[in-house]
Amino acid sequence: MRKSLPRVFLFILTAALTGIACDNGELPTVPNAPTVTDTFSGSLTLNGASTYPFAVTAAIGGKVTATLTALDPSTIPIGMSLGTWNGVTCTITIDNQAAIVSSSISGTTSTIASLCLRVYDSSGTLPTDPPVNYSVSVVHP
């Protein structure tokens, strides 16, 4: 009986090591957070600006992209920024001072966050009448 016990132990040890060694090479994946699309629109005049707070509600965070979808008249670029929102102030982290239609800016957040979009007259040359109308689409988790 003594000789069979080491053989059983050796068999169990070999089976366990074989199971560990047989890996299919795939890493576990982190699920993608569902995305939300917010649309912000308004009008800008000379030296004007508008700030739009929004929230990333997915604990795993993800990519945040703001795209200027409309600008009328389209001949004058405007400024577009993404930043963090503290309830009062938009602290800019990503900026495009010469956004035209289809321009986008992107960043990544790794957790739930209060963020903001700021749209502004970056050139100091926007007309006061008529104002420049815009629309920005923000896609985020």
**Is pLDDT larger for residue 139 or for residue 23?**
139
Q: Tell me the mean pLDDT in the region 58-87.
A: 95
The domains of the chain, with CATH numbers, are: 36-140 (2.60.120.380)
pLDDT of residue 75: 87
Distance of alpha carbon 103 from alpha carbon 101, whole angstroms: 6
Distance of alpha carbon 69 from alpha carbon 80, whole angstroms: 12
pLDDT of residue 26: 59
Q: Would the pLDDT of 45 be above 70?
A: yes
Could you read off the pLDDT of 110-123 as tens digits, one per residue?
A: 999 999 999 999 99
Distance of alpha carbon 119 from alpha carbon 78, whole angstroms: 7
List the one residue out of 74, 73, 55, 77 whose CA is nearest residue 64: 55
Instruction: State in Å, rounded, how far the first CA of the chain is from the last one.
Output: 63
List the one residue out of 134, 90, 130 whose CA is nearest residue 114: 90
Q: Would the pLDDT of 19 be above 50?
A: no
Distance of alpha carbon 62 from alpha carbon 83, whole angstroms: 15
